[in-house]
Amino acid sequence: MAVAAPLLLFHALLMMVLGAHGMPGEHGNLTRKNFPPGFVFGTASSAYQVEGNTLKYGRGPCIWDTFLKYPGTTPDNATANVTVDEYNRYMDDVDNMVRVGFDAYRFSISWSRIFPSGIGRINKDGVDYYHRLINYLLANHITPYVVLYHYDLPQVLQDQYNGWLSPRVVNDFLGFADFCFKTYGDRVKNWFTINEPRMMASHGYGDGFFPPGRCTGCHFGGNSATEPYIAGHHLLLAHASAVKLYREKYQASKIGILLDFVWYEPLTKSIEDEYAAHRARMFTLGWFLHPITFGHYPETMEKIVMGRLPNFTFEQSAMVKGSADYIAINHYTTYYASNYVNETHTSYVNDWHAKLSYERDGVPIGKRAYSDWLYVVPWGLYKALLWTKEKFNNPVMLIGENGIDQSGYETLPGALYDKFRIDYFEKYLHELQCAIRDGANVFGYFAWSLLDNFEWRLGFTSKFGIVYVDRNTFTRYPKDSARWFRKVIKNEN
């Protein structure tokens, strides 16, 4: 017994260090069997990032087309005019999904490919393209998960009434949604209204990093203290209006929304940093999920933003509350948050009263990916899901995006050997498994992304794909991570 006591103490200390998620290497044989029956494994993309052909087949311009005309917008001055040409090569991409064994494909519909003028005239070429894609997916037993809007507002609506800053956009979005439900709803049973409304409101109207490039002091004008909240409000109303329409007129299965959620960990154990991390979570995920759950904005936001935060009418509150059958969480990384009040100017980001950092006492929070914003912090996914479960009445969830990038300058064959990506997926899926075990109601996981595609402000300098694309020939080459996913999904480990 004298020997056993120190061993027991060592074991207890080891468990404290490891946390509740088990010993290192326990997730080395991850397979589909580790997840609940019927769990969905899929991959994801967006229309603007993969389709290309922005100037062809009757498509009208969107706000990203205009934004990218300014030199230096991307490091390589890349545009999405061609990107990876999925418009013409979708069969190749679906065939790759079949080889891996994915159950589902999450993709978006380009609003301006269906309605080049935002509303009114319908572009038959665009409509037929999505018919072909959906039919080919179903013929290959892959379930389509369709996103109505992924960052790409028709430019004409931005020109006519400032896009998401005007309440007019709600009805125009509703018309677009109605057409999609009616046209594709006989085969599409899983819908999302909008991808990452916070990112559009924050970067489009808070710091000008995304189109329409508005912010206080920006070339295109704007007000960082008010416009992000106005745009976010209209995005919420557009989402809820489309859900209401779908439920009343079309509902055959599920409709939800995709919300980005970095996990914010307190930098220290001080109560001030705990509150700072809480504010960061509420000003990001809570901004949209709190109204969807409870019918009003978080009190944290209301107290700080006050009159700059739009109000819901009684009818709008009732429409927004409960307006999701499921919630997709797009999660990549985790940051530290500490208490900090920036009084230089009023803006959405400064309203958080928080400072974000990537290290504590000189130690990075995790290994950095190619992107300077992405650190490998698997336990952040576990915490994000359990916090969402506790704060928002245990919603039905799926992981809408999760992945890691490598340099876009890597070429064949080196770019195919992506062990770091396999390690990332393995560790994050293990944390997802733990979160499900501990009560998070998650039924699916979508890896970002199938292809090395156009990565917004990073152009082609960043590659998230599990399939490499030679942009001279557009030939697709599965990476080691694609083969790893096949083993996981097909229980071959």
Residues labelled as active-site residues? 196, 401
Q: Which of 381, 487, 377 is nearest to 442 (CA)?
A: 381
Name the token pair of 208.
């000008």
Burial profile 339-361: b = 16 or more Cβ within 10 angstroms, e = fewer: bbeeeeeebbebbbbbbbebeee
User: How many whole angstroms separate alpha carbon 169 and alpha carbon 95?
Assistant: 37
Residue 453 backbone phi and psi in degrees, to 5: -130, -165
Q: How far is CA 339 from CA 290, 342, 353, 366, 374, in A?
A: 22, 10, 6, 21, 22
Q: Which residue type is seen at 126?
A: G
DSSP state of 154: B
3-state secondary structure of 401: strand
DSSP assignment of 46-104: -HHHH---TTSTTPPPBHHHHHTTSTTSSTT---SSSTT-HHHHHHHHHHHHHHHT-SE
- Angle, CA of 61, 63 and 65, to the nearest 5°: 55
β pairing state of 104-108 and 143-149:
parallel
User: How many whole angstroms separate alpha carbon 238 and alpha carbon 270?
Assistant: 39
Q: Which of 475, 482, 458 is nearest to 76 (CA)?
A: 458
